[in-house]
Structure 1
Amino acid sequence: MKRIGIDVGGTNTDAVLIDSTTVLGAVKSPTTADVMSGVVKSIEHLVQSHADAVHDLDAVMIGTTHFTNAVVERARLDRVAAIRIAMPASASLLPMVDWPADLREAVNPLRFMVEGGHEYDGRPLVPLDKDAIQDAAMQIRDAGITAVGITALFSPLTAECELEAAEIVTSVLPEARITLSHRLGRIGLLERENVTLLNASLQSLGKKTVDAFRSALASVGIRAPFYLTQNDGTVVLAEVAAANPVYSFASGPTNSMRGAAFLSGRDEGMVIDVGGTTSDIGYLVNGFPREANNIVEVGGVRTLFRMPDLLPMGLGGGTIIDPNTGKIGPRSVGYRITEEALVFGGSTLTTTDIAVAAGLVEIGDKDRVRHLDRALVAKHLAGIHAMIEDGVDRMKTSAGDTPVIVVGGGAFLVPDQLEGVSEVIRVPHAGVANALGAAMAQVSGEVDQVFSGLTRDAAIAAAQEIATSRAVEAGADPKSISLVDAEDIPIAYLPGDARRVRARVVGTISRPRVRLVA
């Protein structure tokens, strides 16, 4: 299958063209301030260099930091209406109570607390107050808000309150973009509500981003279907991704991890992705990133939903080193490295300058760092290596040595020998592993739900059926779908042989080839 993979990072925008498992071309260019022009430039380079090969594309896969950046920057977010169906429980804690004040102010929430929801054993807490939902919907309409997040107590167990509330809101406000918490998060009320409201605040940005990417592709003559990468190392049709932008959080590092698995042929092991601004350390399990089983903060907001288990570090090729104190990072020159680093004629000491001075890599003009004291260079290198070793140790789940696959444009910062590492694996095309991971990604479907009144086998089969339908909706070929993993946990305090079942399936894309428009 012939695809283009693109990954937009904080420092570089990478693009690759692959045919099945063969890399036909790769481009790395600085990320531009407006992002889209950098994407266009990368694709133009591929089209110009591989004019014949770029025809008959199956798909374009894009990884973007748009949505994470919006949360971190407190920008481009919609005003949100939050409806929590849990009264009289949880009355003392309003929606977004634990959000940073500046982020809460950015979304300026209209919050409603409504009677309803369920107990932990599936019994109704109190009847749903439909009149209160109707009144809330009218207030939301009058306020001009279209982004709505609905969260009900124990909705992953039974979603009827959320579904009924959504029908009422839609009847009053047909144009509302509604996010239901049971489709995203897990049991914890506040964390599930948080990710629901983050998703609601990002949906219009999701649509704008997808439209902008579509225009960027069209401007270089590409009409192929395109997908956005997700935080589990898979992709989803762009239109589907626009409705659930939170699933693209942390998609950059997971692209790199999938690329590392592809390039190394390893399904198990640690991956260090060294970019221009940060490094991310993760672990491969069956060729996919290990999933986090605890709370993950996004922009200072506690969430509990599908996220990769990653350790980010403020260490990259553009990381600034203070010449006076010797402190390494966390600030970086980012995409301005070609202007500010010493080897490019700038005045800022970066980790790349240290690597060039030590003879680890040939970048820029090495004569510009000849004046650096050899002892100082060695000291800074030791500090960089100590940061990496500490990160590896923190990500281990056992005391033994583990293999490490190194990718990313700043991979030269990782030495060939590390404490606690059995081998350091270097791969071809390591600098564009993120784009490769995007290009060869499959489409996934996942479910994390509580089932009751079913046998264990029937519950797992039901979960797999739901996951399969979601994969097909996301753009997978039904005939190609296979089960990646499934697990079930009996819940003793619930009646009816209740159990929580998590299942994930993957499949190849089902879209027809589309030619490049001349």
Structure 2
Amino acid sequence: MIKIGIDVGGTNTDAVLLDEADKVIEAIKTHTTKDIQSGINTAVAKILKKSNVDPNDIKQAMLGTTQCTNAIVERKDLARVGVLRLGFPATQSVEPYTEWPDDITRKLSGKFAIVSGGYEFNGETIADLNFQEIKKILLSWKNKIDSVAIIGVFSAINNKQENEVTQLVREVLGPEIPISVSSKIGSLGLITRENATILNSSLYNVIHRVCEGFKGALAEQKVTNASIFICQNDGTLMSTDYAEKYPILTIGSGPTNSIRGASYLVKKKDALVLDIGGTTSDIGVLSNGFPRESSIAETVGGVKTNFRMPDILSVGLGGGSIVRKKSDGTVTVGPDSVGYEIEEKAIVFGGDIITATDIAVKLGMVKIGDSSLTKKINLSLAKKAFETIKGILSEALDKMKTSSQQTNLILVGGGAIIAPLVIEGISQIFKDRYGSVANAIGATIAQISGESEKIYQYDLIPREKALNESKNEATNQAIGAGASKNGIRTVEIEEIPLAYAPNDTVRVKVKVVGQIKG
């Protein structure tokens, strides 16, 4: 069985083919295009031609993409969302879209209603639902919204009201309307969970275009026997059907793929990972083979959320970063970059802009392009630029370390050529010849995951029963995302006591992973 993995980044689209033993058959790197289907089509065509692999032999296809992230950041192709918060009168003082940037609120229609409903932290009802009230609101939104976001107060404890309102929305607005419910998306914290749910609802059009574009590109290249999967931001996969329900889970999947790919390439489960691209460098932490999850609320496109995200630090340094000498003699590198135009604008390719790649060539660190063209770069400038690069990376890596002890570093990405061989605080640097396409490899080797996060009161429900319930919920989620029922294993159990709540209240989080079905 052969697998193909594709990662669409801002600068490059990478593709790899792996055999049944997950050994790399071939790997290629092409430029990303505005139209996702044509870019993927080009990458698939090139790798099939280079490898001579029969398209009929490819049984699994995986895609990692930044399209959903870009849509939020650029405010493009977002759906109009109607927001139903079940929390009147308890939450009326803080309305939905509070602290959102005005431009994205306008794009999403800004339509919301706070209606009767919600639960207390102990599961007691704040207020009963008023179905006539909700129906009237939905009818007023007809043909004015494309999707609905439903958020209930403390729905992590009890999502009964969210489910009832979901059924009513389908009855009023039709069975095909996309609906997001907060208990399936965010964590504790009403406003940040609500924000994540609204963003998820806004991305249905984007993810549908991505999935259809991926399927179309594969079909055009006669790859018709493959099961198709989309990468999640925890280093695992989901089916296209599941992705169309939870598109927000793709946000942050690019750096995550690189971390998983780095782990696979150098056979390390615990290390720092530095992925240097054309424009930015992403730093993550490998913990037991998976990316460390962020413990703080993450901001996406100016909107604070609390859904699952990898702990990633990004800095404006890449292979295409522009080098400048300031009037005081200091040298800066980035954060602006020539990006995908590096082969036209960098000195070594006949251009007139000094980039970080030119510095690496000038100092003899790598052979790319025409090294003789770097004669026009002053050696002193090159050395100062290199020290700047070294300082940026060293400072960023220090921020991601959990202790003052030296640690291992895995270096990947197409821009890894600009990195120094010795970095302060790093005991050993690991590289691999396929490191430039680690993101695509990470996409290809991924498993299917499921996750449950709920609040239990151990005085009212035995701990063992609560854990089993959470494991079952996570397992069912993994199966729904495309995992085989056999061989699902638990990789993480987290129990956090909530000191402010009675009855030995604990937040329980369980994560499971399994192999792809079939």
Q: What TM-score, normalized by structure 1, do the two folds share?
A: 0.96
Distance 1:192 1:503 in 2: 18
SS in 1 for 2:318: coil
1:82·1:150 contact (CA, 8 Å) conserved in 2? yes
Which 10-residue stretch deviates more, 176-185 or 408-417? Answer: 408-417
The answer on 1:87 being equivalent to 2:88 is yes
SS in 1 for 2:4: strand
Distance 1:4 1:323 in 2: 44
Alignment correspondent of 1:231: 233
Alignment correspondent of 2:410: 405
The 5-angstrom pairing of residues 212-223 of structure 1 reads 212-223=213-224
Q: Deviations over 1:389-409 (max 9, x none)?
A: 011110111111111100001
1:117·1:125 contact (CA, 8 Å) conserved in 2? yes
The answer on 1:478 being equivalent to 2:472 is no
Q: Deviations over 1:306-336 (max 9, x none)?
A: 1000101111111122344633222222111
1:268 to 258, 270, 274: 270
Alignment correspondent of 2:13: 13
Which 10-residue stretch deviates more, 348-357 or 65-74? Answer: 348-357
Alignment correspondent of 2:401: 396
2:109·2:145 contact (CA, 8 Å) conserved in 1? no
How far has the Cα of 1:480 moved from its partner? 2.2
Letter matched to residue 162 of structure 1: E
2:461 to 448, 454, 459: 454
The 5-angstrom pairing of residues 428-507 of structure 1 reads 428-452=433-457, 453-494=460-501, 497-507=504-514
1:443·1:508 contact (CA, 8 Å) conserved in 2? yes
Letter matched to residue 471 of structure 1: A
Q: Deviations over 1:331-353 (max 9, x none)?
A: 22211111121211222221111
The answer on 1:327 being equivalent to 2:332 is yes
How far has the Cα of 1:39 moved from its partner? 1.2
Alignment correspondent of 1:516: none
The 5-angstrom pairing of residues 143-182 of structure 1 reads 143-174=143-174, 175-182=176-183
How far has the Cα of 1:495 moved from its partner? 5.3
SS in 1 for 2:186: coil
Distance 1:277 1:492 in 2: 44
Structure-2 change in CA distance of 1:15 and 1:246 (3 Å): same
How far has the Cα of 1:305 moved from its partner? 1.2
Letter matched to residue 401 of structure 2: K
Distance 1:114 1:386 in 2: 53
Which 10-residue stretch deviates more, 487-496 or 472-481? Answer: 487-496
Structure-2 change in CA distance of 1:184 and 1:240 (3 Å): same
How far has the Cα of 1:362 moved from its partner? 1.3
Alignment correspondent of 1:384: 389
2:36·2:210 contact (CA, 8 Å) conserved in 1? no
Alignment correspondent of 2:345: 340
Distance 1:477 1:130 in 2: 39
Which 10-residue stretch deviates more, 63-72 or 78-87? Answer: 78-87
1:17·1:54 contact (CA, 8 Å) conserved in 2? no
Distance 1:303 1:322 in 2: 37
Distance 1:361 1:54 in 2: 35
Q: Deviations over 1:94-133 (max 9, x none)?
A: 2111111211122122111112111122111122222221
Letter matched to residue 8 of structure 2: V
Letter matched to residue 153 of structure 2: L
1:3·1:59 contact (CA, 8 Å) conserved in 2? yes
Distance 1:296 1:490 in 2: 22
Distance 1:37 1:348 in 2: 29
SS in 2 for 1:322: strand
How far has the Cα of 1:197 moved from its partner? 0.4
The 5-angstrom pairing of residues 113-132 of structure 1 reads 113-132=114-133
SS in 2 for 1:477: coil
How far has the Cα of 1:92 moved from its partner? 2.4
**Please, what is the CA RMSD of the aligned residues?**
1.4
How far has the Cα of 1:281 moved from its partner? 0.4
How far has the Cα of 1:492 moved from its partner? 4.9
The 5-angstrom pairing of residues 507-518 of structure 1 reads 507-511=514-518
Q: Deviations over 1:245-276 (max 9, x none)?
A: 11000101000000000001000010001111
1:117·1:155 contact (CA, 8 Å) conserved in 2? yes
Alignment correspondent of 1:248: 250
Number of paired residues? Answer: 510
SS in 1 for 2:272: strand
Letter matched to residue 179 of structure 1: S
SS in 2 for 1:389: helix
2:368 to 363, 383, 390: 363
Q: Deviations over 1:133-169 (max 9, x none)?
A: 111111121x431311011111111112211111111
How far has the Cα of 1:46 moved from its partner? 1.6
Alignment correspondent of 1:514: none
The answer on 1:60 being equivalent to 2:61 is yes
Distance 1:52 1:135 in 2: 58
The 5-angstrom pairing of residues 291-302 of structure 1 reads 291-302=293-304
1:321·1:350 contact (CA, 8 Å) conserved in 2? yes
Distance 1:322 1:219 in 2: 45
Distance 2:390 2:188 in 1: 40
Higher RCO by CA contacts (8 Å cutoff, separation 6 or greater)? 1
1:7·1:15 contact (CA, 8 Å) conserved in 2? yes
Q: What TM-score, normalized by structure 2, do the two folds share?
A: 0.96
Q: Deviations over 1:411-436 (max 9, x none)?
A: 12221211111111112201011101
SS in 1 for 2:58: coil
Alignment correspondent of 1:25: 26
Letter matched to residue 79 of structure 1: R
2:55·2:223 contact (CA, 8 Å) conserved in 1? no
1:61·1:227 contact (CA, 8 Å) conserved in 2? yes
Distance 2:198 2:483 in 1: 28
| Unaligned stretches of 5+ residues in structure 2 | none
1:116·1:124 contact (CA, 8 Å) conserved in 2? yes
Distance 1:250 1:432 in 2: 17
Alignment correspondent of 1:423: 428
Alignment correspondent of 1:515: none
2:56·2:222 contact (CA, 8 Å) conserved in 1? no
Letter matched to residue 477 of structure 1: S
Letter matched to residue 335 of structure 1: Y
